[in-house]
Structure 1
Amino acid sequence: MKAYFKWILLLGHLGAAVLAHAQVPASRADSLQRQLTAAPPDTNRVILLTQLAYELAEFDPVTSARRARQALQLAQELGYVRGECQAYVWLGVGLRNTGDFPGAQLLLLRGLHLAETLGDQATIATVYNAMGRLKSEQHNYRPALGFYLRAKNIAQNTRKLTLLTRVTGNIGEAYFRLGVLDSAKTYLIEGYRLDMQQHDRVSEAGDLYALGVLAARQGQPEQARDYYRRSLRLAHIVTYLVSPVFLGMAELAQSAGQPDSVLYYGHRALAAGLAYHTPASVLAASNYLSRAYAARRDSAAAFRYLALANATRDSLYSQAKTIQMQTLDFSERQRLKDLADQQAQATARQRQNLLLAALLCAVPGLVLLWRHNRLQRRSNEQLLQLNEAVTQQKLELQGQHDQLDSSLTSLRAAQTQLIQKEKMASLGELTAGIAHEIQNPLNFVNNFSEVSSELLSELAEEQARSERDTALEAELVGDLRQNMAKITEHGQRAASIVKGMLEHSQNRAGERQPTDLNRLTDEYLRLAYQGLRAKDKSFNASLTTDFSTDLPPVTLVGVDVGRVLLNLFANAFYAVRQRQQQGDPGYQPQVGVRTVLLNQQVQIQVTDNGTGMPESVKEKIFQPFFTTKPSGEGTGLGLSLSYDIIAQGHGGTLTVESQEGHGTTFSMGLPV
Structure 2
Amino acid sequence: MWWLAPAFGHLAHSPGRVDSLRFALRTASVDTVRVLLLNELAYELTQTDPLATIGYGKQALQLAQELRFRRGEGWALVRLGSGFREAGNYPAALQIGLQGLRLAEALRDPALQGRALNALGYLYWEQGNSRPALAYFFRAKVVAEKSGNVKLLTRVMGNIGNVYEQLQQLDSALFYLKQGFAMDAREHDLTSEMGDAAMLGNVYAALGNPQVAQVYYRHSIRRAQIGHVTFALCRAYLGQARLFERLGGARADSALHFAKQALAAGQQGRYPKGILQASQFLATAYAARGNNAAAFRYLTLASATRENLFGLAKMAQVQALDLRERMREDELADQQRLAAAQRRQLGLGAALLAAVPLLLLLWRNNRLKQQANQQLYTWSKNLAAHRDALRTALADLKTAQDQLMRREKLAFLGELTAGIAHELQNPLNFVANFAGASAELAAELLAEVSRPVLDRTALENLAADVQLNQEKIRQHGQRASSIVKTMLEHSRNGAAPRLPTDLNALVEEALMLAYQNLCGSDHAFRAYLHTRLDPELGPVPVVAQDLSRVLLNVCANALYAVRQRALAAVSGGEPAGYEPTVVVSTRRAASGQAVEIRVRDNGTGIPKKLLAKIFQPFFTTKPPGEGTGLGLSLSYGIVTQTHGGTLTVASKEGRFTQFTISLPCEIAGLEAPQSWQLQQDVAIG
Tell me the TM-score normalized by structure 1.
0.51
Quick one: distance in 1 between partners of 2:454 and 2:488? 50
State the match for 1:163 in structure 2. Answer: 156
State the match for 1:573 in structure 2. Answer: 559
What is the letter of the counterpart of residue 583 of structure 2?
A: G
The 5 A counterparts of 1:376-387 are: none
Select the residue among 133, 148, 156 that pairs with 1:151.
133
Select the residue among 552, 558, 576 that pairs with 1:585.
576
1:441–1:191 CA distance, 2 compared to 1 (3 A): same
* Structure 1 stretches lacking a partner, 5+ long: 1-29, 34-48, 70-85, 136-141, 173-182, 213-224, 250-268, 270-385
State the match for 1:54 in structure 2. Answer: 8
Q: Is the 8 A contact 2:121 2:137 kept in 1?
A: no
The 5 A counterparts of 1:508-547 are: 508-516=493-501, 517-547=503-533
- For each residue in 1:435-472, what CA deviation from the matched residue of structure 2 results, as whole angstroms up to 9, or x when unmatched? 22222111111111111111111111222223443332
State the match for 1:635 in structure 2. Answer: 628
State the match for 1:131 in structure 2. Answer: 120
Quick one: distance in 1 between partners of 2:529 and 2:561? 14
Select the residue among 588, 605, 609 that pairs with 1:616.
609
**RMSD, aligned CA:** 5.7
1:166–1:624 CA distance, 2 compared to 1 (3 A): closer
What is the letter of the counterpart of residue 585 of structure 1?
A: A
1:515–1:538 CA distance, 2 compared to 1 (3 A): farther
Quick one: distance in 1 between partners of 2:200 and 2:628? 43
1:124–1:571 CA distance, 2 compared to 1 (3 A): farther
> Shift of residue 57 of structure 1?
9.1
* Structure 2 stretches lacking a partner, 5+ long: 22-32, 41-70, 86-92, 143-152, 202-213, 237-264, 266-372, 666-685
**Partner SS state of residue 654, structure 1:** strand
Question: Greater relative contact order (Cα 8 A, min sep 6): structure 1 or 2?
Answer: 2
1:129–1:647 CA distance, 2 compared to 1 (3 A): farther
- Report whether the alignment pairs 1:205 with 2:194: yes
Q: Is the 8 A contact 1:545 1:593 kept in 2?
A: yes
- Report whether the alignment pairs 1:663 with 2:645: no
Quick one: distance in 2 between partners of 1:535 and 1:639? 22
The 5 A counterparts of 1:75-224 are: 106-111=99-104, 127-131=116-120, 144-145=126-127, 150-152=132-134, 163=156, 165-166=158-159, 195=177, 199-200=181-182, 202=190, 203-206=192-195
1:241–1:453 CA distance, 2 compared to 1 (3 A): same
Select the residue among 447, 451, 456 that pairs with 1:465.
451
Quick one: distance in 2 between partners of 1:541 and 1:500? 25
> Shift of residue 612 of structure 1?
1.7
1:635–1:661 CA distance, 2 compared to 1 (3 A): same
- Report whether the alignment pairs 1:240 with 2:227: yes
State the match for 1:653 in structure 2. Answer: 646
Q: Is the 8 A contact 1:455 1:480 kept in 2?
A: yes
> Shift of residue 589 of structure 1?
1.9
Select the residue among 434, 443, 448 that pairs with 2:434.
448
Quick one: distance in 2 between partners of 1:99 and 1:415? 25
**Partner SS state of residue 507, structure 2:** helix
Q: Is the 8 A contact 1:459 1:473 kept in 2?
A: yes
Q: Is the 8 A contact 1:431 1:531 kept in 2?
A: no
**Partner SS state of residue 613, structure 1:** coil
Q: Is the 8 A contact 1:654 1:667 kept in 2?
A: yes
> Shift of residue 230 of structure 1?
3.8
> Shift of residue 575 of structure 1?
1.3
Quick one: distance in 2 between partners of 1:608 and 1:211? 39
Q: Is the 8 A contact 2:643 2:663 kept in 1?
A: yes
State the match for 2:150 in structure 1. Answer: none
1:193–1:460 CA distance, 2 compared to 1 (3 A): farther
Q: Is the 8 A contact 1:579 1:611 kept in 2?
A: yes
1:471–1:432 CA distance, 2 compared to 1 (3 A): same
Quick one: distance in 1 between partners of 2:525 and 2:651? 23
Q: Is the 8 A contact 2:78 2:115 kept in 1?
A: no
**Partner SS state of residue 569, structure 1:** helix
Q: Is the 8 A contact 2:562 2:581 kept in 1?
A: yes
Tell me the TM-score normalized by structure 2.
0.51
**Partner SS state of residue 474, structure 1:** helix
- For each residue in 1:316-342, what CA deviation from the matched residue of structure 2 results, as whole angstroms up to 9, or x when unmatched? xxxxxxxxxxxxxxxxxxxxxxxxxxx
1:128–1:427 CA distance, 2 compared to 1 (3 A): farther
- For each residue in 1:226-261, what CA deviation from the matched residue of structure 2 results, as whole angstroms up to 9, or x when unmatched? 9996446548xx963479999999xxxxxxxxxxxx
Select the residue among 585, 597, 600 that pairs with 2:588.
597
> Shift of residue 87 of structure 1?
12
The 5 A counterparts of 1:92-491 are: 106-111=99-104, 127-131=116-120, 144-145=126-127, 150-152=132-134, 163=156, 165-166=158-159, 195=177, 199-200=181-182, 202=190, 203-206=192-195, 230-231=219-220, 233-234=222-223, 240-241=227-228, 406-491=392-477
**Partner SS state of residue 618, structure 2:** coil
Q: Is the 8 A contact 1:191 1:207 kept in 2?
A: no
**Partner SS state of residue 458, structure 1:** helix
Quick one: distance in 2 between partners of 1:661 and 1:90? 54
- For each residue in 1:252-278, what CA deviation from the matched residue of structure 2 results, as whole angstroms up to 9, or x when unmatched? xxxxxxxxxxxxxxxxx9xxxxxxxxx
The percent of aligned pairs where both chains have the same amino acid is 41
Quick one: distance in 1 between partners of 2:610 and 2:82? 46
**Partner SS state of residue 54, structure 1:** coil
Quick one: distance in 2 between partners of 1:434 and 1:152? 45
Quick one: distance in 2 between partners of 1:246 and 1:226? 14
